[in-house]
Amino acid sequence: MKNKELVSRVRQGLNSLNKDSKIPRRYILGVATDIAIFLMAQKFRDRSLFREGNLYRSVDCFELVSIDKYSCDIVEFRSSTNVMKSKKKLPKLVYSRYGSSLKEVTNIDASMDFKKTTPSKYRRDKRRQGYKSEYVFYEKDGYLYLPDTEVSRVALYLYTPNEYDLLKSSSCNKECLNPWELEFICSSKLTNVVLAETIKEVSLRLQIPRDENPNMDSNLKSKTTN
C-alpha cells in the first residue's frame, strides 16, 4: 500500500464518521507510522514475522565521518583507534527485547560484516586478554557509530515503515522522490489494524474544541462564553 492510499483510506474512514477530513496528510502519515512501529515491535518481540522477509529494505550507501574520539559522547569508544559516526540519522527503527530492526551492517562490497555491540560489551572485550579488534557497530540517539575503523560508507539492511526516510538516508540516492508514491511498509497482518487505529486517533484530535481566543485571559474567556 502506498502512502497516498493509506491517507486516502483514513480520510474515507473519517468521512464515514461524519468528521471533517481536511487534516494535513503528513499528520495522518505520522500517526500511522507511530502506530505501525508500536504494533510491529510487538510482532518482532514474539518473532511471528519470520516468514515476512519482504518487510526488510536495503540502504546501499550510508555515509559516516570520522569524529574526535576524545570528545565522543560514548565514553567507552574513547579508547578506540578511531570513531566513525553517521552523517545522517538512521531511518526510524523498531525496537524489541531482541534489539532493533537494523538487521545487518556491512561495508559496500559486503566483505566486512559489522556485529552489534554495546558500550559495556565493547569495554569488556577490549580488556580481554588476547583481544583482536572486531568490526562492530552501535546505535545511539538515532546515529550509527563504528569504532576502530575508518570505513566511511556502509550498507544497511533494516525495517522501517517509512520508505521515503529510508531512501533519503542513502548518500548515493540523487532521485527526486515523491513520498506519497512510496510504500507504507507494514505486515499484511497488521495493515487493517493500523488503518483502524489511525482513524481512531485522528478522529480524537478532531473532537478537541478549538480555542478561538488562545491568548485571552481565562476570566475574560468565561465572560465571553456566558
Residue 137: CB atoms within 10 Å: 22
pLDDT of residue 20: 61
Q: Do residue 41 and residue 67 come from a single domain?
A: no
Tens-digit pLDDT profile for residues 88-139: 999 989 988 888 899 999 999 999 999 999 999 999 988 887 667 789 999 9
Q: Do residue 15 and residue 69 come from a single domain?
A: no
Q: Do residue 46 and residue 69 come from a single domain?
A: no
Give the integer Cα–Cα distance in Å for 66 and 138. 15
Q: Which helix (H) or strand (E) holds 181?
A: none
Q: Do residue 78 and residue 9 come from a single domain?
A: no
Residue 31: CB atoms within 10 Å: 20
Terminal Cα-to-Cα distance of the chain (whole angstroms): 49
Sign of the dihedral through C-alpha 119, 158, 36, 14: positive
Residue 110 included in any domain: yes
Residue 174 included in any domain: no
Tens-digit pLDDT profile for residues 155-212: 999 999 888 888 888 887 767 889 899 999 999 889 999 999 999 999 987 775 544 4
Give the integer Cα–Cα distance in Å for 114 and 98. 17
Residue 104 included in any domain: yes
Residue 172 included in any domain: no
CA distances from 214 to 134, 202, 217 (A): 57, 22, 9
Residue 164 included in any domain: no
Q: Do residue 26 and residue 111 come from a single domain?
A: no
- SS3 call for 140: strand
Q: Do residue 76 and residue 110 come from a single domain?
A: yes
Structure pTM? 0.80
State the average pLDDT for the chain.
85
Which cell numbers hold the place of 97?
A: 527485547
pLDDT at 214 over 60: no
Residue 224 included in any domain: no
Give the integer Cα–Cα distance in Å for 105 and 149. 13
Residue 62 included in any domain: yes
Q: Do residue 145 and residue 197 come from a single domain?
A: no
Q: Do residue 83 and residue 154 come from a single domain?
A: yes
Q: Do residue 147 and residue 79 come from a single domain?
A: yes
Within the chain, residue ranges assigned H as helices are 3-16, 25-45, 119-127, 163-168, 191-207, 218-225
Residue 91 included in any domain: yes
Q: Which structural domain, as residue segments, surrounds residue 148?
A: 57-158
